[in-house]
Amino acid sequence: MGSQATVIVLNWNGHDYLRECLRSLFAQTYLEVRVLVVDNASPDESWRIVDDEFPEAALLRLPENLHFARGMNAGFARALEDPRSAFIIALNNDVRVDPEWLSSLVAAAEDPHVGMVASKMLFMDRPRYLNSTGIVIARDGSSMDRSWNVPDEGQWDAHADVFGPSGGAALYRRQLLEGVGLFDEDFVAYYEDVDLAWRARLAGWQSRFAPGAVVYHKYSGSMAHRSPWRQYQCERNRVWNLVQNYPWRYVAMGIPWNTLRLAATKFPGRPVAGADGAPGENAGRSMKVHARARLDAYARIGTALRTRRLRSAARIASAAEVGRWLRRYGPPFRRILEG
């Protein structure tokens, strides 16, 4: 008998996706699995799919939309109540997983030093293109998906050490969550997985990529890829991630690095490409959203500093080690310019 894995599916208005997601979860070859659907007060009442068609799944209905960080944390907390849950997996509702997905994730976590495992995420509408094979980190607190929008030609089909997983399909070891905490609820949505990966790494945990853990993702099924709200969340949370997790020398270095990146990619009039490579919204409007996000991030910088101090006791990684991470797990600057 293997270790129990609890898969938490966070649902919001998932009527078009949830049924296929759950069907694929109950077709897993890994048998020691519990499925918990956390519904974020979906107006489309898609939680009824669970009640009516999947009685083997547990359902946690939230009284209001708590967004990603708080909603997923509600699921984490419920999963941690069960002492048998050795692995807890965060999963979007707009995905379909291969039958060997969970077995591959758990196998990649065989080493007890591995606390996080990344899935191989492909675009559901373009299954020959990669969505994510983990996350990469940049010097200004930003992050992006490893192998984002790259044709899948088998070049990523090897087990690898990665900085951390995308929260859309991520395995976390129970002891990691108990030791460093859950998602930072101040982030609301986006970058909460990056922040958790930083905390885990700073505390000594490792991360792996499992190429056999294949997920097909209907990208931004719940939120438009270039929506102003998403851009706001990402920029505000980038600043907080930088302040809360990076050694001070890299915080100072990240400011001019970010200025250079923005100057090269977001000057007024330049269109921002979407996931399919098509032109997106005008970058002038995007810059206004970024400016507002930064002002709001700076307004609560005192909270970020207090959070940094509270976390300091769990840090064992040195500034020199962080520097090695930025070189090892950071993309080349030209990759940053591609967005």
List, in order of start, the domains of the chain with CATH numbers.
Answer: 4-217 (3.90.550.60), 228-337 (no CATH)
Q: Mean pLDDT for the chain?
A: 91
The model's pTM? 0.92
The angle subtended at Cα 286 by Cα 280 and Cα 290, nearest 5°, is 145
- Determine what percent of the chain is predicted with pLDDT higher than 70: 89
Nearby residues of 164 by Cβ (< 8 Å), 6 or more positions away: 116, 118, 134, 135, 170, 193, 194, 196, 197, 198, 200, 201, 207
- Determine what percent of the chain is predicted with pLDDT higher than 90: 84
Report the pLDDT value the prediction gives residue 256, as an integer from 0 to 100.
84
Instruction: Write phi, then psi, for 170 (nearest 5 degrees).
Output: -130, 135
Residues 100-137 pLDDT 10s: 999 999 999 999 999 999 999 999 999 999 999 999 99
Task: Report how far residue 233's alpha carbon sits from residue 325's, in angstroms, rounded to the nearest whole number.
Answer: 25
Q: What is the mean pLDDT of residues 243-267?
A: 83
Query: Contact 339/283 with Cβ under 8 angstroms?
Result: no
From 38-42, 54-58, 216-220, the region with the lowest mean pLDDT:
216-220
Which one is predicted more confidently, 78 or 282? Answer: 78
